[in-house]
Chain A
């Protein structure tokens, strides 16, 4: 392993992380719930009565965030290298996996670790580990 110092951006990462933590804090202190994005989105498919509107509002806030950001600054470029087939496979795995495992990076990673849940720690170790292994396999074992 070598560290890519050119790409290393600790301060924006920390600041963005604080904003994410603030959002999770707002969500639990005001709404009384876990800001788990896969759970909030997945719950929209079969919402309990009265549950659809706040779920949709949260998702709308997320999807609308680039528009708000763009009012104040130029949006940073995003680079999606995966092709359409890979994106489809990735999306299916993320969709099934997050629902079956009851959470993703936000629900287990941010909120679960913040509330010191051993279950979320196990989930986070597994999904991070599988993320590392998958990238290693795709970039270093099977890459041409």
Chain B
């Protein structure tokens, strides 16, 4: 069941990225370019998404299982720490270079864009670097 609901959610998410213009990196850069001719459209994407999200999450927060009986796994982390801030800063810089964040990268890949393939491959490599670094970090902490 989780597979079907995940597939559907991914599909609806992707359609939203296409309809909204988020899947077009040039459009995203138009939004991020405050110093040039600014295109405020993407603020409306966030507004639309959060309007529905607020309702869904206020409902979800009161539940211990999902509507199909899956475990509710909302993030427990509360601390605003260095990892959060440095990671977000690196992400923002990468987003600003090409105008592509993870979702649109995958959608553009589905459109057969060769350049999206390069971006997604590099993104996966970056994620793999993170996994390796995390493993090292945990290995260093464990007793030898």
Contact = CB atoms under 8 A, between A and B. Distances in A.
Interface of A: 1-4, 7-10, 12-35, 37-38, 41-42, 45-46, 53-55, 57-69, 75-82, 84, 86-106, 108-119, 122-124, 126-136, 138-140
B139 interface: no
A18 B51 contact: yes
Contacts of B30: 4, 7
A55 B127 CA distance: 15
A9 B95 contact: no
13 contacts: A19-B15, A25-B53, A30-B5, A61-B14, A66-B110, A89-B97, A91-B94, A98-B102, A101-B84, A110-B46, A126-B92, A127-B89, A131-B96
Interface of B: 2-27, 29-30, 32-57, 59-61, 65-68, 70-75, 77-80, 83-103, 105-111, 113, 115-116, 118-131
Given A91-B94, A101-B88, A105-B103, 17 more contacts: A3-B37, A16-B48, A17-B20, A25-B53, A31-B66, A57-B7, A78-B108, A94-B94, A98-B87, A100-B86, A100-B87, A105-B95, A110-B49, A114-B52, A132-B96, A135-B34, A140-B36
A15 B44 CA distance: 9
B21 A57 contact: no
Given A110-B50, A126-B89, A94 B14 contact: no
A52 to B, nearest CB: 10
Contact of A88 (B26, B73, B118): B118
Contacts, number: 504
B100 to A, nearest CB: 6
A92 B3 contact: no
B13 A101 contact: no
Contact of B56 (A2, A106, A114, A135): A114
Contact of B50 (A21, A118, A127): A21
B126 A91 contact: yes
A93 B93 contact: yes
Contacts of B45: 13-14, 16-17, 20
Q: Across the A-B interface, give the 10 residue pairs with the lowest CB-CB distance, nearest first.
A: A95-B126, A16-B20, A101-B87, A61-B10, A17-B48, A65-B14, A91-B122, A130-B92, A134-B96, A114-B53
